[in-house]
Structure 1
Amino acid sequence: MRLHKCIFLDRDGVLNRERGEYTYKLSDFEILSGVKEGLEITKKSGYLLIVITNQAGIAKGIYNTDDVLKCHSYLQAHIGDLIDDIYFCPHHPVTTESLLRKPDSLMLEKAIAKWEVDTDKSYMIGDSLRDIQAAEKVGVKGILVGEKDSNNSTAPKAKNLLDAVNKFIVS
């Protein structure tokens, strides 16, 4: 059995602009600069690309699963369908506790099993400490992008996805 190397990606703040509120309308879904290029580089380097995202607005009744799927279709259409799979957690502790929700690691565990991922050769790129914590639980190297939790983690840091790819993955 051949294991695959993988880049796990948080969504909001890594692939699209983090607005500080829920992003579920296409009119608010802004793909960040350098995302397509960063994904193309990793894909050409033989990595699977899998999104791992909390979508608590579903549990809170702010939006629904269809809204999330529309955003993901829009993302795929604008980056050339480079993402291999997308996992999202619709739960939030206000309604339902779930091991899917980061910083827990069940979404990652499911993806690792389904896609036969080699955790030693894989990364999680996220913009918050909970992304790094989830990665650590499954033995994946975490890379923190942006400024949100940059002082609270010893994980390698980058400005954005493209910077992370160039500094830590294909350097």
Structure 2
Amino acid sequence: MQKAVFFDRDGVINIDTNYTYKIEDFQFIEEFFEVAKFFKKLDYKLVVITNQSGIQRGFYTVPDFLKLSAYMQKSLQDRLGFSMDRIYFCPFLNSVNRKPNSGMLLKARDDLALDLSNSVMIGDRISDMEAGSNAGLKSLYLISDKNSMPVKKDGLVDSDIKYKNVTSLLEILKDFK
């Protein structure tokens, strides 16, 4: 079975501008490219799992999201020579697929024949860590630029390793197996 790295989108791949859906508002976090290359070299599947409640809230549409996703994929292909293997999104406020639920991770497991116990979650919110933990992922990496480190919730190990930003994650990954 294949290992995967699951990336939240806003705040990990791109700068979070609150309900990012326009190409002109999308800006990659530069260090993300190095993280993607790192996992690609280790033959991990690269998967995005992202809550997109702005769709249900009426801020933008599924076609808007898909247009931005196509732009992101083309930009990655042009810059790195590869793109994400799959993008999963949940447009709903209440769904088994919405993080912190693990629905998108389990769907990816089934679609891509993934070994979740040896896979990795990288996110910037507690809900990302909860989704990864709920799905039994091996390692959980939490970005926490916006606040001091989040507090544990009811016994949840909120992340195996916490890092301040994507640059500090790159330092941690040097010792990754």
Assess same fold via TM > 0.5.
Answer: yes
Distance change in 2, residues 1:125/1:101 (3 Å): same
Instruction: Look up the SS of the partner of 2:55 in the other structure.
Output: coil
Distance of 2:72 and 2:63 partners within structure 1? 14
| 1:56 maps to amino acid | S
Verify the 8 A CA contact 2:126 2:150 in the aligned structure 1.
Answer: no
Where do residues 88-127 of structure 1 align in structure 2 (5 Å cutoff)? 88-92=89-93, 97-127=94-124
Change (3 A) 1:89 1:98: same
Normalised to the residue count of structure 2, the TM-score between the two structures is 0.86
The one-letter code sitting in structure 2 at the alignment partner of 1:91 is F
Q: Which residue of 2 aligns with 1:83?
A: 84
SS in 1 for 2:88: strand
How far is the alpha carbon of 1:169 from its aligned partner?
7.2
TM-score, normalised to structure 1, is 0.88
Say yes or no: does 1:129 pair with 2:126.
yes
Aligned to 1:12: 10
Gapped runs of 5+ residues in structure 2? 153-157
Change (3 A) 1:11 1:33: same
Instruction: Describe the superposition over 1:44-90 as per-residue Cα deviations: whole angstroms up to 9, x where unpaired.
Output: 11100000000001001110011111111111122124210000001
SS of equivalent residue, structure 2 residue 129: helix
Q: Which amino acid aligns with 1:142?
A: L
- State how many pairs are aligned: 164
Could you say which residue in structure 2 is the equivalent of 1:74? 71
**How far did residue 121 of structure 1 move?**
1.4
CA distance in 2, matches of 1:86, 1:163: 25
Identical aligned residues as a percent: 38
Indicate conservation of the 8 Å contact 1:26/1:71, yes or no.
Answer: yes
After superposition, the Cα gap between the structure-2 partners of 1:157 and 1:136, relative to the gap in structure 1 and judged at 3 Å, is: same
Match of 1:32 in 2: 29
Is the contact made by 2:102 and 2:132 (CA closer than 8 Å) also made in structure 1?
yes
Alignment match, 1:159: 164
Consecutive unaligned residues in structure 1, runs of 5 or more: none
- The Cα RMSD (Å) is 1.7
Quote the Cα distance in structure 2 between the aligned partners of 1:86 and 1:17: 18
Question: What one-letter code is carried by the residue in structure 1 that aligns with 2:66?
Answer: L
The residue aligned with 2:61 is 64
The 3 A distance-change label for structure 1 pair 146 and 79 is farther
Larger RCO, structures 1/2 (Cα 8 Å, 6+ apart):
1
